């Protein structure tokens, strides 16, 4: 005989446990996102160092060429002097010194001494040129080694970010699954409450299920954005960033703020500096470039690329920095608000200034 299925009311402590687990995973996700942003800014700093290393390597290579040219010139000079001395010969020198005309002998002896002096000078110049060439070659090797180290460091930081992306996706998948479990248990609680005619409990369970389902959908959107950001970053080669545009001078805060507002809704992506996606320092660099002020694509550099101002002096357009290591930056727009690109899975948006984590503010071009 078939026994009718009976719905077993979900235990309240079961739902509470799922909610506690969700809180724990969300905390880990936030910590991971923060640490990834720190690595991202380290990556941006590394790209600036790579640009400097490549410039140094190029200068060193040019110096090697110049030093090599100097060695060739010194060698030619020494060969020319040696050839003249060879033509004169030792017997000729003796004949001149023993000739009957003392004045002529003295003149010719002076010429021979001058030739010998030129020979010594040519030898000294050649040795000096060779020494300079050796120094230039050593400097070039050091510059190239530095470039290789920076490239290796950037590759390592890139792998770290890619690993973090994978970890974030795994945490998001875990959250989605836990919210699915939460929805299921809440629906079971709603059904059980309806059987016992506990309308208030049923409504509360239905609301919880609806909220969990909405959050689950939001997490799917964030997961998709994280996937896209990770793919975009992976496709970006390790290379120096383009040089900042020439600085036009002070001012332009209103232009920068307007440019920031025009970017609202665009996705966050590690290492991106617009115009289709941004990370935090990439956004502030791009919006201020629209006002003719050049900033580096790195929070640590931007901290020194303007005049530092107090919170009481804050004006729209100022850059606000967060964390003791300055790993995040936004652009202040007034009324305690800022526009920033917060982290993976988010978009450029307006939010309250993170006053508790504020490290300071800078006025670009000021």
pLDDT at residue 63 above 50? yes
Q: How far apart are alpha carbons 232 and 226 in whole angstroms?
A: 10
Q: At what angle do helices 280-289 and 253-262 cross, to 10 degrees?
A: 130
Tokens in use for 101? Answer: 């005309």
* pTM for the model: 0.65
Do 268 and 222 sit in the same domain of this protein? no
Residue 91's pLDDT is what?
Answer: 45
3-state class (DSSP) for residue 318? coil
Give the highest mean pLDDT range of 104-118, 144-158, 241-255, 328-342. 328-342
32 within a domain of the structure (yes/no): yes
60 within a domain of the structure (yes/no): yes
Do 40 and 120 sit in the same domain of this protein? yes
pLDDT in tens, 174-215: 888 888 888 888 888 888 888 888 888 888 888 988 988 988
Residue 172's pLDDT is what?
Answer: 87
Residue 321's pLDDT is what?
Answer: 97
Among residues 200, 234, 268, the one where a domain terminates is: 234
3-state class (DSSP) for residue 353? coil
6 within a domain of the structure (yes/no): no
> What DSSP assignment string belongs to 204-247?
HHHHHHHHHHHHHHHHHHHHHHHHHHHHHHHTS-S-PPPPPPPP
pLDDT at residue 233 above 90? no
264 within a domain of the structure (yes/no): yes
pLDDT at residue 3 above 80? no
pLDDT averaged over every residue in the chain: 81
Q: Which residue has the tokens 């209103």?
A: 254
DSSP strands (E only) in the chain: 306-309, 319-322, 328-334, 337-340, 349-352, 358-364
Residue 169's pLDDT is what?
Answer: 85
Phi and psi, residue 332, nearest 5°: -70, 135
Of the candidates 27, 121, 44, the residue with the CA atom closest to the CA atom of residue 295: 44
247 within a domain of the structure (yes/no): no
Among residues 234, 262, 282, the one where a domain terminates is: 234
Do 325 and 268 sit in the same domain of this protein? yes
Do 213 and 281 sit in the same domain of this protein? no
Number of domains in the chain: 2
246 within a domain of the structure (yes/no): no
> Domain holding 289: CATH number?
3.90.1720.10
pLDDT in tens, 237-259: 777 766 665 554 556 899 999 99
* Counts for the chain of helices (H) and strands (E), in that order: 7, 6
Residue 12's pLDDT is what?
Answer: 59
Do 138 and 271 sit in the same domain of this protein? no
Q: Which domain holds residue 332?
A: 253-364
Do 267 and 224 sit in the same domain of this protein? no
Do 180 and 327 sit in the same domain of this protein? no
Tokens in use for 125? Answer: 């110049």
First to last CA, the chain: 86
Do 126 and 168 sit in the same domain of this protein? yes
Do 52 and 186 sit in the same domain of this protein? yes
248 within a domain of the structure (yes/no): no
**Mean pLDDT on 94-103:** 53
Residue 124 CA to chain centroid, in angstroms?
48
Confidence of residue 84 (pLDDT cuts 50, 70, 90): low
**Mean pLDDT on 265-294:** 91
> Domain holding 153: CATH number?
1.10.287
Do 163 and 265 sit in the same domain of this protein? no
Query: Which residues face 322 on adjacent strands?
Result: 328, 358
Residue 10's pLDDT is what?
Answer: 46
Among residues 174, 199, 234, the one where a domain terminates is: 234
189 within a domain of the structure (yes/no): yes
Do 355 and 269 sit in the same domain of this protein? yes
Higher pLDDT, 332 or 165: 332
Do 209 and 277 sit in the same domain of this protein? no
Q: How far apart are alpha carbons 216 and 209 in whole angstroms?
A: 10
Of the candidates 357, 343, 310, 322, the residue with the CA atom closest to the CA atom of residue 165: 343
């Amino acid at each position: 005989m078939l026994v009718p299925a009976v719905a077993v009311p979900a235990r309240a402590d079961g739902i509470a446990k799922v909610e506690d687990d969700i809180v724990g995973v969300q905390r880990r996700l936030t910590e991971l996102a923060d640490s990834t942003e720190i690595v991202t800014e380290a990556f941006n700093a590394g790209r600036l160092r790579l640009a400097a290393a490549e410039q140094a390597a190029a200068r060193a290579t040019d110096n090697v060429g110049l030093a090599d040219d100097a060695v060739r010139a010194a060698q030619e000079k020494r060969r020319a002097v040696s050839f003249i001395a060879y033509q004169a010969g030792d017997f000729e020198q003796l004949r001149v010194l023993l000739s009957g005309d003392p004045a002529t002998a003295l003149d010719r002896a002076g010429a021979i001494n001058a030739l010998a002096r030129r020979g010594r000078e040519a030898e000294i110049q050649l040795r000096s040129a060779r020494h300079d060439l050796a120094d230039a070659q050593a400097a070039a090797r050091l510059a190239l080694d530095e470039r290789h180290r920076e490239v290796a460091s950037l590759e390592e930081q890139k792998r770290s970010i890619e690993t973090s992306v994978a970890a974030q996706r795994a945490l998001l998948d875990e959250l989605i699954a836990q919210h699915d479990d939460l929805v299921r248990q809440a629906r079971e609680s709603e059904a059980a409450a309806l059987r016992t005619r506990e309308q208030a409990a049923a409504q509360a369970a239905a609301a919880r299920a609806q909220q969990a389902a909405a959050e689950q959908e939001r997490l799917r959107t964030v997961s998709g954005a994280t996937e896209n950001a990770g793919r975009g970053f992976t496709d970006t080669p390790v290379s120096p960033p383009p040089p900042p545009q020439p600085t036009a001078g002070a001012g332009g805060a209103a232009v920068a703020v307007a440019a920031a507002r025009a970017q609202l809704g665009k996705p966050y992506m590690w290492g991106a500096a617009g115009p289709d996606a941004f990370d935090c320092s990439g956004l502030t660099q791009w919006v201020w470039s629209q006002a003719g002020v050049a900033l580096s694509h790195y929070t640590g550099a931007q901290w020194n690329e303007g005049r530092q101002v107090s919170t009481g002096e804050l004006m729209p357009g100022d850059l606000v920095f967060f964390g003791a290591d300055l790993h995040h930056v936004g652009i202040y727009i007034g009324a305690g608000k800022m526009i920033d690109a917060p982290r993976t899975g988010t978009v450029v948006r307006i939010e309250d200034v993170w006053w508790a984590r504020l490290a300071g503010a800078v006025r670009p071009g000021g």
